[in-house]
Amino acid sequence: MTSAETWRVNWFPIEKCIEFIEATGIDCFAPAIGTAHGMYSTEPVINFDRVKEITTRKAVPIVLHGGTGLSEDTFRRLIQNGCAKVNISTKLRCNLRTVFGRTSRASRRSMIRSKLIKSGSARR
């Protein structure tokens, strides 16, 4: 059994997911569905049925983690099954590193501070 198969066998049971959602009253839920943070070395096997089963039983928006590298078709299918929030961080960080990697530390700080001030998130 591969590590991916072992992981799937040990997924938190749907029944326990529903119990958790009900017990906590959470506004959204991010179950294990086959995605992971970081870059995929092989095509991930997404469990679309798991997303559908949870959202069919509980009207809770599903949050996707590990969106970097997924195809447009995968995003569409996940959204059709109840995914309401998609997180894509690794690719964004890589792009930022590429851009900021060419600048000095002082210049990076200045750029970030200027962006934060424009958005009203930093003290002036």
Residue 87 interacting with Zn ion (CB under 5 A): yes
Instruction: Choose the binding region for Zn ion from 40-48, 72-80, 82-90, 97-105 (rule: CB under 5 A).
Output: 82-90
Distance CA 121, CA 124 (A): 9
CB of 119 to Zn ion, least distance (A): 22
- Give how many residues touch Zn ion by CB under 5 A: 2
Measured CA angle at 101 (ends 100, 105), to 5 deg: 70
106: Cα within 13 Å, side-chain hemisphere? 0
Q: Maximum distance among all alpha carbons in the chain?
A: 56
Residue 85 vs 113, nearer CB to Zn ion: 85
Residue 70 CB, shortest distance to Zn ion, in Å, is 13
Interface pattern 49-68 for Zn ion (x via CB under 5 A): ----------------x---
Strands 62-64 and 83-86: parallel
Nearer Cβ to Zn ion, position 85 or 115?
85
Distance CA(92)–CA(84), nearest Å, equals 19
**Footprint of Zn ion on this chain (CB under 5 A)?**
65, 87
